[in-house]
Structure 1
Amino acid sequence: MDKLTSNPMICGKTPFAVTGCPFTRVTPGSRSLERGLAILRAFRHGGSALTNADLAERVGLPRPTISRLTHSLVDSGFLMFDPELRAYRLAPVLLNLALAYQEGLIEYQIALPYMQAVAKREEINVGLAAPDLCDMVYLASVRYGRGGVLRHIVPGSRRPMETLSLGLCYLNALDESSLARLLQYILPKYPGTKDAVLFRIERARQDLNMLGYCVADWHAGMIAIATTLKTPGEAIYALNISFSSSDELWAKDRIVHYGSVLIKLAEAINEAWQNYQKECPQ
């Protein structure tokens, strides 16, 4: 199991979007609260119930500490204890919080109709994602693609930034110092292949500068291309299109076509965000 890390969150500077925006305070934070939230982060889409031992391995805290924190999280209604498995599950309140987040995210509300129209017209998959620690989290996934390998991507799905086009374009949208801070947490996961990861990021940078999007093999038979979106407050999101392809020559033609589709979609969403900001300034 991967151990969670408390690396910095990086995004824009103003409250048009608050996806991980830095928070400045003069009083110290609560270490216990941070540890409790780290336990909640340990639960991932597609996973099962987690024991104290599982959580200790994922979070990197001693089992006695985990035991005290899970007890508090059960008492406060954020976790449920399964006596048969002697393990914990997330409580329904987390689903309520996720719904409240989604309904309050104006970027999502504005972008979704544009994404749905393009996905249906082109019979492709369109995704919108935001950064969380070293991962990209899907905010929306509109799937009209036919054929290829079935991928169960839904809102809330997360993938490591360095493994997909969404994350590669996000990393290249950061300033040098922010990118360096994230790489401090990403590269140690690849002790023997750090150069390969850095090459992927650099190649994506070149594609973005030349084409406006970057390309990545999402899975066998699937190709994904992505570009970045910035709100008027300069918070960074990533937008992608994915499609099935088993023929290399056909894939090259499709990448050019869908690259144009992606750029036009990004421009339409950015314009809609800007119009909203003008009509409803915060």
Structure 2
Amino acid sequence: MEDKKTYASPESYAMNGGKGPYSYAQNSIYQRLLKPEAAKEKINKAIADHFDIKTLSASLNLVYVADLGCSTGPNTFISVQNIIEAIKLQYISKGVHTEIPEFMVFFNDHVSNDFNTLFKSFPPNKQYIAAGVPGSFHGRLFPKESLHFIHSSFALQWLSKAPIEVMDEGSPAWNKGRIFYTNAQKEVVEAYATQFAKDIDSFLFARAQELVVGGLLALFIPAIPDVMSNSDTFIGTELDLLGSCLMDMAKVVSLQ
């Protein structure tokens, strides 16, 4: 019997598209401030230590790079450029600059992502061939052993879906309609943690199949120390306030 591969399309909630005042492109400065220098340093070191061009250069004419969770803003272009420059530097430092390959970059996000704005925003001097790959990165997106470098930044903290338990009024983990788990009871926190563990497992399993032998995976995920409470963080307070506003708005609508 034929083994038919399926690539599921989970719920799709992309960032706001376009370039208007409420778009992700105009409201992603926080990510941009944290990513470039720290991320560039770590990517440079990973490529210098582990990207074996002596083995690959003889047969590698095209390097395949994927940015997962690219959205629409300029941040993805900065990350991709850092990766490409680091790989080129490897070739130059090893004295094989004449063998520098071409680059194919896949920009991935949900099917509802504004890829039109993304494509219109490409840097005019980009040094790679580009393609969009719509779909959830919590499942397979690419053929087996096809990618040399996979990058994802400020994206994996988003769950593939809300835990069913937190929306069930009969469940101990019911979150009373709130959008976050700040100051919630432990059952709510555990439900979110369990969903996150499932998502990470699916993500890593898919990437393990898609990377070539010796390929590199760079993940940048916002986190807080274990000793801190979510209610002590800026993002926790911010989401609590946002959630409270949304619940007040819903009550007003229901009364009309």
TM-score (norm 2): 0.32
- When the two structures are superposed, what TM-score results if normalisation uses the length of structure 1? 0.30
Larger helix fraction of residues: 1
